[in-house]
């Protein structure tokens, strides 16, 4: 009998969530010979996995709670145009979450959490290579992330963070270049200072996740949509996932990877860390010239990526219900902040306007590992780094499920912490 109460490698698994984390876990479970069924309430890449910026950015995968975020958040509280927006609400759960988040906004907490990120950041891109080697037909593009600033002093925050990341033990190369040296024609004349984060990549996130789903199915897996998971039971050595419509799917093991909706299923399983929806917005705009690589505008908190011949523009952190409607004012706020800094962009012709809920934890660490129910595992709470760390999460969790032993690098992310 293994430590999680099960025997050996399970023959079957049900994965709740068809985003990058859930499908990566399903794919790597198949590498262990496990038969997988993936359930999703909407469809493949229907949540945060579709409309994000598509950065594969170990350089930016850092704990979200830090002193600067707290100071900025207090200044921008209730400001509808601010990149960080908390609407006036009577939701006590939200204010409790934000209070816990604020308690983690200390340098000591950030440094401790950053040390936990270093090992997974160092292995994250290798997991993408493993998927490609295993037949997933979706490419990643190597390119630096170009961080552009209107004023030289605005770059001090990123420079300081880069130094703290290096002190934590993560390799990070940051290069000072002039705007002309970037070769990015979209940078406007107002840009005076540029830092280039070397060794990063980017993807078309929706297409990548769809390719991952096709690979899971081609290897014998099943993906069922229209299944809204409502609860988890265990009976006769099997895990049973119940839907809101009364349907049931059982397997020897289960993985909960349903993003911002994780807490409802995970809380009864001993997971005390709350998960809230930190909603991000994006849209796509045509450009006069091709965009050679990702552009990061830290002062505006906007990330831009080459996307299907144009530019995907993503930004904001909005704490609202995961299922709340898109707020067009948030789109307009992103446009107003980015327009002066980018040239040759047809802002009026934007399309694919989108909002998606990123699963945020108050301590800034994801939840990866076993729950209190034998055979049930958690994979979520990655915040803004679900795409960067999704494949590695799947690989490590599949290893834990197959072996019964928690990988050392996952210990800080224990869902029962």
Which candidate, 19, 402, 32, 14, places its Cα nearest to that of 219? 32
Region 73-80: mean pLDDT is: 60
Q: Are 372 and 382 in contact (CB under 8 A)?
A: no
CA 99/CA 96 separation, integer angstroms: 5
pLDDT at 117 > cutoff 90:
yes
Residue 347: pLDDT over 90: yes
The answer for residues whose C-beta is within 8 angstroms of residue 249's C-beta and 6 or more apart is 14, 37, 39, 224, 227, 240, 241, 243
Residues 6+ apart with CB under 8 A from 108: none
Which residue from 223, 243, 236, 225 is spatially nearest to 375, judged by alpha carbons?
Answer: 236
The Cα 96–Cα 189 span in angstroms is: 44
Q: Is the pLDDT of residue 255 over 60?
A: yes
Residue range of the domain that includes 348: 12-413
In a domain, 51, yes or no: yes
Q: Quickly tell me which residue has 């898109």 as its tokens.
A: 326
Evaluate whether residue 177 is within a structural domain.
Answer: yes
Q: CATH no. for residue 121? A: 3.50.50.60
Asked if residue 332 belongs to a domain, the reply is yes
In a domain, 3, yes or no: no
What confidence tens digit (pLDDT) does each residue in 84-105 have?
A: 777 777 688 888 999 999 999 9
Does 1 reside within a domain?
no
Angle, vertex CA 282, rays to CA 277 and CA 288, nearest 5: 165
Of all residues in the chain, what percent carry a pLDDT higher than 70?
95
Specify the pTM: 0.95
Domain count, the chain: 1
Q: Are 364 and 113 in contact (CB under 8 A)?
A: yes
pLDDT above 60: residue 5:
no
What's the mean pLDDT in 178-199? 98
pLDDT the model gives residue 3? 47
Q: How far apart are CA 186 and CA 288, in angstroms?
A: 9
Q: Six-digit token pair at 179? A: 């705007």
Written as one string, the DSSP assignment of 133-195 is HTT-----EE--EEEEESSGGGGHHHHHHHHHHHHTT----EEEE-HHHHT-TTB-TT--EEE
Assess if residue 5 is contained within a domain: no
Q: Would you say residue 267 lies in a domain?
A: yes
- Higher pLDDT among residues 68 and 216, named by residue: 216
Residue 240 in any domain: the answer is yes
């Amino acid at each position: 009998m293994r430590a999680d109460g099960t025997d050996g490698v399970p023959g079957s698994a049900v994965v709740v969530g068809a985003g990058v984390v859930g499908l990566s876990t399903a794919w790597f479970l198949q590498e262990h010979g496990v038969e997988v069924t993936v359930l999703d309430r909407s469809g493949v890449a229907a949540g945060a996995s579709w409309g994000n910026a598509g950065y594969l950015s170990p350089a930016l995968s850092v704990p979200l709670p830090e002193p600067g975020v707290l100071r900025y958040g207090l200044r921008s509280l209730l400001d509808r145009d601010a990149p960080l927006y908390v609407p006036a609400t009577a939701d006590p759960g939200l204010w409790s979450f934000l209070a816990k988040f604020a308690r983690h906004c200390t340098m000591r907490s950030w440094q401790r959490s950053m040390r936990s990120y270093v090992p997974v950041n160092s292995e994250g891109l290798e997991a993408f290579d493993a998927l490609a080697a295993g037949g997933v037909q979706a490419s990643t593009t190597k390119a630096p992330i170009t961080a552009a600033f209107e004023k030289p002093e605005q770059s001090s925050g990123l420079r300081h963070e880069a130094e703290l990341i290096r002190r934590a033990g993560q390799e990070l190369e940051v290069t000072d270049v002039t705007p002309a040296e970037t070769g990015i024609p979209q940078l406007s004349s107002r840009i005076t200072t540029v830092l280039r984060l070397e060794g990063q990549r980017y993807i078309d996130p929706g297409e990548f996740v769809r390719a991952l789903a096709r690979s899971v199915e081609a290897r014998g897996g099943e993906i069922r949509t229209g299944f809204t998971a409502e609860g988890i039971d265990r009976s006769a050595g099997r895990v049973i996932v119940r839907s809101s419509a009364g349907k049931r799917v059982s397997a020897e093991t289960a993985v909960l990877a349903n993003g911002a909706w994780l807490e409802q299923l995970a809380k009864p399983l001993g997971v005390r860390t709350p998960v809230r929806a930190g909603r991000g917005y994006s849209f796509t705009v045509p450009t006069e010239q091709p965009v050679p690589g990702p552009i990061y505008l830290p002062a505006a908190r906007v990330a831009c990526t080459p996307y299907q011949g144009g530019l995907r523009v993503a930004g904001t952190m909005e704490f609202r219900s995961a299922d709340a409607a898109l707020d067009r004012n948030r789109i307009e706020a992103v446009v107003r902040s980015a327009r002066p800094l980018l040239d040759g962009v047809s802002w009026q012709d934007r399309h694919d306007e989108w909002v998606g809920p990123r699963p945020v934890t108050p301590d800034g660490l994801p939840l990866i590992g076993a729950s209190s129910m034998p055979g049930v595992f958690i994979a979520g709470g990655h915040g803004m780094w679900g795409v960067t760390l999704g494949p590695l999460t799947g690989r490590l969790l599949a290893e834990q499920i197959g072996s019964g032993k928690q990988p050392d690098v996952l210990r800080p992310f224990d869902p029962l912490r």
